[in-house]
């Protein structure tokens, strides 16, 4: 893909005088299309998920499995962006994990 140097819009291949040229809706055309257009994309950076429980905050919540009253918690977007985040809890004693919806 290439962007127009005049208006910065995306240029597209168009036919002009029985030749394919790169053109823009503003009227700009790139005359030399003999060289293929190549764009190198950077590989997305990998995200490391930290699951070290010692870094998670602790809240008062009763474990549904062992009845312990403290749990680690974290928030995660699991539904549409206009919906609230889901709160995940993990018992500090038995490590049972559950979720709460807002």
Taking only the tens place, the pLDDT of each residue in 54-84 is: 788 999 999 999 999 999 999 888 878 788 8
- What pLDDT is stored for residue 50 in this prediction? 59
Taking only the tens place, the pLDDT of each residue in 4-49 is: 888 888 888 877 777 777 888 888 887 655 555 555 667 777 766 5
- What pLDDT is stored for residue 76 in this prediction? 85
Q: Is 82 part of the annotated catalytic residue set?
A: yes
Domains plus CATH for the chain? 1-40 (2.20.25), 53-101 (2.20.25.10)
- Collapsing DSSP to helix, strand or coil, 8 comes out as coil
pTM: 0.48
CA distance 94 to 18: 73
User: Could you say which of 62, 64, 83, 100 is catalytic?
Assistant: 83
Q: Is 32 part of the annotated catalytic residue set?
A: no
């Amino acid at each position: 893909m290439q962007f127009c140097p005049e208006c910065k819009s995306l240029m597209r291949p168009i036919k002009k005088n029985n030749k394919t040229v790169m053109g823009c809706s503003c009227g700009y055309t790139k005359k030399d299309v003999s060289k293929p257009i190549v764009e190198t994309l950077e590989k997305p950076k990998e995200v490391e998920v930290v699951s070290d429980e010692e870094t998670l905050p602790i809240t008062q919540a009763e474990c549904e499995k062992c009845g312990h009253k403290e749990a680690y918690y974290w928030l995660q977007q699991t539904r549409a962006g206009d919906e609230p985040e889901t709160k995940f809890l993990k018992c500090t004693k038995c490590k049972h994990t559950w979720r709460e919806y807002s």
